Structure 1
């Protein structure tokens, strides 16, 4: 007696189809699972046996062999419980085998037969769309899977209901999801730039950063508003598109981080890990590879507060995803790639005590202590941060009143306008903003006149910029020009872009700024 059930396994953030073959033959009672099953898959035999018995069905006292094909692909997770149970019921004649042909089935079984939610139902539904007509998932995953158009989704509460549905004795309501509804009222009205008094030049720098997707480092004393400013960045970024939301949701789905009832991540992520995080926690990995914070920030913001407090080797792993916008985790049997296109926002004090250059608080640090503190951010990492901006203490008069404060919606409108220009410019490419331009794009869109060239030459000589730093300035200048609706980069755009390179490649504020004089 042989039955075949379609299911799915997740690799990275994508899913692949898995055939669950169940063979029941005469012999000593034995339940074996083959096809590179991970521990949780091997343990499914105990859950399946208890669930079948407690659902009112007889469990065969014969030799049961479960094969998960393709056999050379490692199978992880608890999502194979339901297809194995359905396969056993089909092999024993409880469920017609022909009824399984048009369904992909996944779900974890409780001992009493209830079907529990699993990770990765969204990528599994995407994989099923090209293979079969419908998918049976846990009721808790139904809204998430129904985001995918072109496949019918049925959410089952328990094994008895799923079996009755496959026998044609009971109907399960087909689930549909209105994805558009998730994009309404996604803003956080409590986090608005009107709450930030003063710091107009910092707001301008952050607006430029969001308009072009540039990385930012804010340097200032404690209490100057660095964290407050960073938390409001999500409110001025362009609205997330459906394609971006779908890719971001896949990451959260395989990580098990979707909230109950949440079918789609309809707002750009804002992640702020603690400085004690490990390199695997930041970049991803582990014995069973999982996405790290850089991937959970995909299409959003990764905020590192008190950046020098992070372990140096942890910060250094950021260099590759900042360049490639993806993370590849290699293991002996497989290599997984997670997307990691995020905007890095860092915050740091100017010195260990935090009050270097603050006119109201004396700094107690020596020059050597300051340099050691700054050197925790390596030159290559600083090179990959486009904008360096100082955040001074806010004067009392600006704390009491700030008539020029703009709302986040006002700033967001200008950011979206600049992004629309970039969207049209890069419509035939795979990039979306100026920060992602490569050399070929820069030759086409970042042409400068002689006056701009002389400014750039002076900046490279005096600030000791690398070739990467030079290119970052050009990209920022291109963004500033887009914000003004100007086709060609002008000297004023280059001048403003140069001001955003406060730190040189050694992490030292340049002498020109007067801070070490």
Structure 2
């Protein structure tokens, strides 16, 4: 008996509907075709254990599963539930009346519990575009998918609930999220505030100018002068996210699997601060199966590179084109994907290897040649793309010990 269920593949920041065809004939074999990766191929063992442990029957017959279109690589364990429901439908354990109306995605644990998946938001957007009635997925991702209006989002905890819902014996209320209300309630809820910073009025002024014009900034100063502290507070004075910007940012974090359980729309500008040991692919995106990098995760927000000269030269140079184009294209032999990369770069560095060049109290121990060699680690073309260069000096103790509160981030 042949049954069709529907899943979705995430490509870049978009999704493509995948048709999963399950055919059961007399025999004793299991075949999975349609360019699946190792995680998809391993689904048979997870599905068999999950069905058995939930009182459902795994058919002891020849099962053929085809994932179409067959020329698109299927990655990850999120197809477990799609295939499992197809097998149950083909063996007459699930009613087929609703199967064509829903996108079904979820990873199965051996006890039948549904684990969270990546890209629930972009899959939901594509499901609505393709005219599906709803989206059945793990409960942990339900609020994320419910950002999309006019789509019935069914969040289930385990496979038994999914089977009961499809057979009409168990009712699951669709997850509803008032996106606009939640977004505006949590707008500008930042953990850091400029009121925490004492002194540094000139630096604050420079960051205000940078925030107003969307300029890139580099902060140059000795250790302990407050470069990182100032940079972390920059998102709190940027203009609030618009609903469209929030959706763009949430899509990227959804694809990367960074939203967390029961997360909804991102309402504050992201702040990303990767360590200086990061690779090229980690910063701009890529890998065998392309994923967004830090510059895309900082979309509509701030990318902070602390200890700039310590980053590998090749890592910094790959940022030059995305900083101009506001988009990064990852090309592979068979396909290419595009990720948005509209971010504000804030870099911080010491003025010399010892860190105390031009320090008002501590003498620098570096020779002029060492200082020049250290500064030459940053290429001219990259510095040309950084509009504001600011020298940061330490705050005197008398200013730090005052009880006067600094200027707040709020207008």
Counterpart of 2:6 in structure 1 is: 6
TM-score normalised by the chain length of structure 2: 0.96
User: Shift of the alpha carbon at 1:403?
Assistant: 6.0
Residue aligned with 1:295, SS: helix
What secondary structure is seen at the aligned counterpart in 2 of 1:124? helix
CA contact (8 A) 2:188 2:240 kept: no
CA contact (8 A) 2:106 2:116 kept: yes
Query: Structure 2 vs 1, CA of residues 402 and 308 (structure 1 numbering), >3 Å: closer, same or farther?
Result: farther
Asked whether the 8 Å contact 2:196–2:405 carries over to 1, the reply is no
1:70 counterpart residue number = 69
**Any idea what the Cα deviations from partners look like across 1:355-408, whole Å, max 9, x if unmatched?**
112232211111111111001110010011111111122234433448694211
| Structure (1 or 2) with the greater helix fraction | 1
Bigger radius of gyration, 1 or 2? 1
The residue aligned with 1:336 is: 337
**CA RMSD after TM alignment:** 1.6
Secondary structure of 1:21's match?
strand
Question: Would the alpha carbon gap of residues 398 and 134 (structure 1) be closer, same or farther in structure 2, given more than 3 Å must change?
Answer: same
Aligned to 2:158: 158
**Are 1:306 and 2:307 matched, yes or no?**
yes
CA distance in 2, matches of 1:185, 1:342: 21
Deviation at 1:97, TM superposition (A): 2.1
Distance across 1 between alignment mates of 2:259 and 2:229: 26
Pairing 1:14-33 to 2, within 5 Å after superposition = 14-27=14-27, 29-33=28-32
1:287 shift after superposition? 2.0
| Residue in structure 2 matched with residue 506 of structure 1 by the alignment | none
Structure 1, 176-185 or 321-330: larger mean CA deviation: 176-185
Query: Where in structure 2 are the equivalents of 1:497-512 lying within 5 Å?
Result: none
Give the distance between the partners of 2:192 and 2:167, measured in 1 at CA. Answer: 53
Give, in whole Å, the separation in 2 of the partners of 1:148 and 1:388. 42
CA separation of 1:234 and 1:335: change in aligned 2, threshold 3 A: same
Once residues 354 and 116 of structure 1 are traced to their aligned partners in structure 2, the CA distance between those partners, rounded to angstroms, is 48
Tell me the equivalent position of 2:118: 119
Q: d(CA) in 2 for partners of 1:89 and 1:289?
A: 33
1:20-169 alignment, distance < 5 Å: 20-27=20-27, 29-131=28-130, 132-169=132-169
Task: Look up the match of 1:181.
Answer: 182
* Residue aligned with 1:52, SS: helix
The answer as to whether partners of 2:143 and 2:264 remain within 8 angstroms in 1 is yes
| Equivalent pair of 1:198/1:402 in contact (CA under 8 Å) | no
**SS of equivalent residue, structure 2 residue 97:** helix
Which digits, 9 at most, give the CA deviation of each residue in 1:145-182, with x for residues without a partner?
10111211111121121112111122111110122324
* Corresponding residue number in structure 1 for 2:347: 346
Change (3 A) 1:185 1:151: closer
Tell me, yes or no, if the aligned pair for 1:197 and 1:402 is still in contact at 8 Å: no
Provide the TM-score with structure 1 as the length reference: 0.76
The alpha-carbon distance between structure 1 residues 139 and 396, as it changes in their structure 2 partners (threshold 3 A), is closer
- Asked if 1 retains the 8 angstrom alpha-carbon contact of 2:284 and 2:294, the reply is yes
CA distance in 2, matches of 1:254, 1:95: 30
Question: Deviation at 1:186?
Answer: 5.2
Aligned length: 409
Whole-Å separation in 2 of the counterparts to 1:408 and 1:402: 18
* 1:50 CA drift (Å): 1.6
Q: List alignment gaps of at least 5 residues for structure 2.
A: none
The alpha-carbon deviation at position 232 of structure 1 amounts to 0.6
Structure 1: unaligned runs, 5 residues or longer:
411-517
Q: Distance in 2 between matches of 1:194 and 1:117?
A: 38
- Residue 194 of structure 1 and its aligned partner are, at CA, apart by 2.2
2:196 aligned residue: 195
With CA pairs under 8 Å and 6+ residues apart, which has the higher RCO, 1 or 2?
A: 2
SS in 2 for 1:87: helix
Residues 191-218 of structure 1, C-alpha deviations (whole Å, 9 max, x = no match):
2212222222211110011111111001
- Contact 1:271 1:297 survives alignment (8 Å): yes
Q: CA deviation at 1:73?
A: 0.5
